[in-house]
A and B are shown apart, each in its own frame.
Chain A
Amino acid sequence: MDRSSRSGSRTSVPLVAMAAAAALALTGCSSGHGGKKAEQAEANAAAGKADTPRMTVALVTHQAPGDTFWDTVRKGAEAAAAKDNIKLVYSADPNAGNQANLVQNAVDQKVDGIAVTLAKPDALKSVLGKAERADIPVVGLNSGLADWKRLGLLEFFGQDESVAGEAFGDKLNTTGAKKVVCVVHEQGNIGLTQRCDGLKKTFKGTTETLYVNGTDMPSVRATVTAKLKQDTSIDTVVTLGAPFAATAVQSVGDAGSKAKVATFDLNKDLVKAVRDGSIEFAVDQQPYLQGYLAVDALWLYKYNGNYSGGGVAPVLTGPAFVDRPNVGKVAGFAAKGTR
């Protein structure tokens, strides 16, 4: 007995020493700047919670895995669900057929409400009919501004991509831009194409399109640099997603160009860049609001019969411009990943 306990303590000595050494090494390596510690200075206030009976809502989107934008939509939906005592079932698939199956899945589950994006409306037509027959209220969000009424949805929250593009073009007119390049990070994505097309419609100067490989940042950087060198008359680079704006700023530096950078969508690093002036402005369609309102609307409909827009008018969530004068207001929210 004695022996085993001693051998136990003997093996544990080096272990403890190793752990201590590791801890010491880590403390020695700690960073005096930035990091999690700096972030934790902020605190969150939690909203109250509804006392209505628990209900289930399915949110079905056409998100591709790992997309910043949809992550924010989902956070909004989760916040509303937590507040309204809702069990939120989130599912997503960029393939229209698969998305229709996910809606069917929600109908099979007999959920109390469905919130759905209509990126490819006709693919969802038959399954939305099934939801209607099963008496499940359906609201639309994000994509499908032109189609939600036709498909018999209750209400719609969002902003069409082309409308955002048009607003973007108008804003560019005020900055004195003459020639812009629209950087598309996913060739063939309809939403991105609509943004560029909308921009072209209202922008008074010339617009060019540039396709880049959105899954490879160094490639994006090199391609935008190449474009700026090829055409030195470009004075504004427009990116269609937040992460690409920061890369475009580096490309402008690499190319020795004087072009400005403006972008669709927002994230916390962009807020910093807008503040220090390296990015001119960002247009935001407020994805958090889309997710939040869609889920909250289903709750209001179930427990108070309310619905926005009377079944005719959509609820527009944008465009919201973030530029130097107002960036301070959204900075804190963006840092949490909710704006």
Chain B
Amino acid sequence: MSGGGQALGTPPAPGPGTGTGERDGRTTRRPPALRLLARPEVGVFLGALAVLVFFLIAAPSVRQGGSMATVLYQSSTIGIMALPVALLMIGGEFDLSSGVAVITSALTASMLSYQLTLNVWTGVIAALVVSLAVGAFNGWMVVRTGLPSFLVTLGTFLILQGVNLAVTKLVTGNVATDDVSDMDGFGQAKKIFASSFDVGGVQVKITVVWWLVFAALATWVLLRTKYGNWVFAVGGDQDSARAVGVPVRFTKITLFMLVGLGAWFVGMHNLFSFNTVQSGEGVGNELIYIAAAVIGGCLLTGGYGSAIGPLFGAFMFGMVNQGIVYAGWNPDWFKAFLGVMLLGAVLINLWVQRTATRR
């Protein structure tokens, strides 16, 4: 088992191969089934499947179509953010400010539109600019100073948390923003960010569609574009990547900006589905996004992972979260259940990968 940790990091991640040492065992071809199992998303897929089957058996109400829509809705709001967080993690960095950045974005759009009595789309665009700027700032600070992103984004996390509260209080006089649901453009924006549609009598939230679309897009970028290769390269080994001509700074800054983009999208969903925004929200969600990415098979150390994995990671989180309620278990134990199930899932994940990559 001594090679377990290393085995996790080395296998089939797309990236430049070394091409040396034909006979040292690293390049021997293993059976196709094992190679499939070694994909970063397989462990989490099995984990998610196990959780799904478990709750289908344990909680009768999960079997209704509407329940799955609820589970998917919860998963999608986590999952949309887990995607850029996962890409960033593959690129070797963290963003602890992602949870409150969602609220920052929603607050910006809401307060700007309301206070100046503008069409809400003005606020939506302004929020996008602010979110991207926050991401760019994080990225720039990280590449510029070489400090661990953990520290830099911990700083931004605290700053945004304070700014959210203080600016909201300063501008609105309250700790929540005013209701924008009767303003021009709201209906239109709600259609895009927070509507739902009918699938065989079940109301499915539009965020579920966006989530799947974004996951497909992220997968394509990671596996089929030059940018995707850059992401793996900067996360794997920054100095080697730079040596072979990968624009490390550009890649890292844009990865942070992608997190900003995700925060903007989820922020807009929050705003247009709940009409007002509570300034103190979002704290703690950054860890859930990171958890979804890690459960989804992304390595905390970077250089390895996928976009499909976090999709299942977020689903698993949503499923456990709602499944416990559907099963009607004693709610006092809720968090403990959640922790045990997540830990269990991570262990399955780890075990599958170790078994699959052992030689």
Contacts and interface: CB of A to CB of B under 8 A. Distances in A.
B183 A36 contact: no
Given A35-B118, A36-B115, A230 B61 contact: yes
B66 A255 contact: yes
Interface stretch (B246-254, B267-275, B301-309): B267-275
A215 B278 CA distance: 9
B285 A243 contact: no
A64 B175 contact: no
A269 interface: yes
| Interface bin, chain A | 35 or more
Interface string A213-244: 10111110111011101110000000000010
Contact of B165 (A31, A36, A66, A208): A66
Contact of B70 (A65, A184, A254): A254
A210 interface: yes
Contacts of A226: 67, 70-71, 322, 325-326
| Interface bin, chain B | 35 or more
A329 interface: no
B77 interface: yes
B119 interface: yes
B74 A218 contact: yes
B137 interface: no
Interface in B216-275: 269-270, 273-275
A78 to B, nearest CB: 11
B282 A216 contact: yes
B280 A66 contact: yes
Contacts of A229: 61, 64, 66-67, 70, 326
A238 to B, nearest CB: 14
A250 interface: yes
Nearest to B60: A230
A247 B178 CA distance: 15
A67 B280 CA distance: 7
A267 to B, nearest CB: 7
B52 interface: no
Interface stretch (B19-27, B144-152, B327-335): B327-335
B334 A65 contact: no
B325 A29 contact: no
Interface in A29-73: 29-39, 64-68, 71
Contacts of A37: 117
A221 to B, nearest CB: 8
A301 interface: no
A222 B73 contact: yes
A212 B138 CA distance: 31
Interface in B329-359: 331-332, 334-335
Contacts of A218: 73-74, 77, 269-270, 273
Given A31-B117, A33-B183, A226-B67, A217 B328 contact: no
Contacts of A184: 331
Contacts of A33: 182-184
Interface in B181-198: 181-185
Interface string A252-281: 001110000000000111001000000000
A31 B281 contact: no
Contacts of B331: 184, 208-211
B116 interface: yes
A337 interface: yes
A225 B175 contact: no
B77 A246 contact: no
A243 B117 contact: no
Nearest to B182: A34
A256 B122 contact: no
B114 A35 contact: yes
5 contacts: A31-B184, A38-B117, A230-B59, A230-B325, A246-B276
A-B interface, 9 closest residue pairs, ranked by CB to CB distance from nearest: A66-B280, A35-B117, A222-B74, A31-B184, A218-B77, A34-B182, A31-B183, A226-B325, A29-B119
